[in-house]
Amino acid sequence: MPPRRRSPGGPSSIQIRQFILTAAANNNTLGGMYAVIAVNVEAGLKECFHYHIPLDLASTLTPGHLVEVEFGRRLAQGIVVALDSRSPVEETKPIISLVAEEPVIWPWQITLAQ
């Protein structure tokens, strides 16, 4: 069996490893990826909040997922409505966990709600 060749222009395994190590050093986030979350609390909120995505959720998190986050001094559930490469605030909290492994709403439902 011939050896595998890396596609031209693609990252090398060393570059990928360096990227992961850099992300791990930066609060275990994947290259500054953020989730925009509609948090479910008693007070009627009119805005969504940015939370950073931990490495262990980076490959599975999509819009529509139900997640658990820290909101103020308590835990709350929220829906991921979008993914973003930037946050409007400098410091963000991490997503704590997925509540459901599959998204609980579809992208068209998010669009309709907006």
- Residue/partner pairs of 17-21 with CB below 8 Å, 24 or more apart: 20/55
* Alpha-carbon radius of gyration of the chain: 17
Q: Report how far residue 30's alpha carbon sits from residue 16's, in angstroms, rounded to the nearest whole number.
A: 12
Q: What is the pLDDT of residue 18?
A: 53
**For the whole model, what pTM was predicted?**
0.69
pLDDT at 50: 92
- Residue 32 is which amino acid? G
Question: Which pLDDT tens digits describe the chain residue by residue (114 residues)?
Answer: 455 444 455 555 555 555 544 444 444 444 459 999 988 877 766 788 899 999 999 889 999 999 999 998 889 999 999 998 888 888 889 999 999 999 999 888 888 887
Q: Which two tokens stand for residue 50?
A: 């940015």
Tell me the backbone φ, ψ of residue 106, rounded to 5 degrees: -95, 155
